[in-house]
Amino acid sequence: EAGVAQSPRYKIIEKRQSVAFWCNPISGHATLYWYQQILGQGPKLLIQFQNNGVVDDSQLPKDRFSAERLKGVDSTLKIQPAKLEDSAVYLCASSLKNHQAPTYEQFFGPGTRLTVL
Amino acid sequence: QQQVKQSPQSLIVQKGGISIINCAYENTAFDYFPWYQQFPGKGPALLIAIRPDVSEKKEGRFTISFNKSAKQFSLHIMDSQPGDSATYFCAASIFMRAQKLVFGQGTRLTINP
């Protein structure tokens, strides 16, 4: 079974530029998460999708961050404009949870390391 | 109240020893407590998890001890091996509500050969 795929793996941009990250979850996983992991800290949930609907985006800085999951499969996370403090690893995760199979394990991708200069 | 506090930040253990990492939480609504293991350049991977209906769960060399009254839980790694060297995160969530995981700050574990 293929894992969660993310691209790019690394990105370096100047502040005020925009950047986008892509995630392809494990096939059949209805729930998709984006986390921000700042160096030396635990992951922090930014947004959670159930199929193509947003379940929780309470910690997403909506003035600069946006995310979409149009067809309930792939997802993109965008930052525009980027700030220095956005330097972090952006992790995508997916889980199988639905009303028939409430499996709560989240499977993480390798992440995208963003450096904002 | 959403925080999960983890200690120590770093830990060095000799090969064959016992590694112990502790976590504490405030939100009494939390009822799912997983531990994740993360190697450099990789995403976190679920190691072991516990629900509060039991006080201990063991899987191989890994054991979670859970103290509901103290709102604390810990990971014990028996017979620690150099391959266990990684960063460990505890987390907590409300099992039936959207699985929003709140992570601790992480512990960098080094096992010396």
* Closest by Cβ to A108, choosing from B45, B98, B99: B45
Place of tokens 């956005």: A86
Between A100-104, B18-22, B79-83, the lowest mean confidence (pLDDT) is in A100-104
Given this model, what pLDDT does residue B95 score?
Answer: 72
Task: Compute the distance between CA of residue A62 and CA of residue A18 in angstroms, rounded to an integer.
Answer: 14
- The residue type of A7 is S
Given this model, what pLDDT does residue B47 score?
Answer: 95
Q: What rounded mean pLDDT belongs to chain A?
A: 91
Q: How many C-beta neighbours within 10 Å does residue B20 have?
A: 15
Between A42-51, B13-22, B39-48, B93-102, the lowest mean confidence (pLDDT) is in B93-102
Contact B91, B102 (CB under 8 A): yes
Q: What is the mean pLDDT of residues A65-77?
A: 93
Instruction: Tell whether A27 lies on the interface with B, counting CB pairs under 8 A.
Output: no
CB pairs under 8 A between A and B: 55
Taking contacts as CB-CB distances below 8 angstroms, the residues of chain A near B32 are 104
Contact B98/A56, CB-based, under 8 Å?
A: yes
Given this model, what pLDDT does residue B10 score?
Answer: 97
Task: Compute the distance between CA of residue B98 and CA of residue B106 in angstroms, rounded to an integer.
Answer: 23
Task: Compute the distance between CA of residue B96 and CA of residue B56 in angstroms, rounded to an integer.
Answer: 21
pLDDT for residue A1 is more than 80: no
Eight-class DSSP state of B32 = B
Radius of gyration of chain A (CA): 14
Contact A93/B41, CB-based, under 8 Å?
A: no
pLDDT for residue A85 is more than 80: yes
Task: Compute the distance between CA of residue B108 and CA of residue B69 in angstroms, rounded to an integer.
Answer: 27
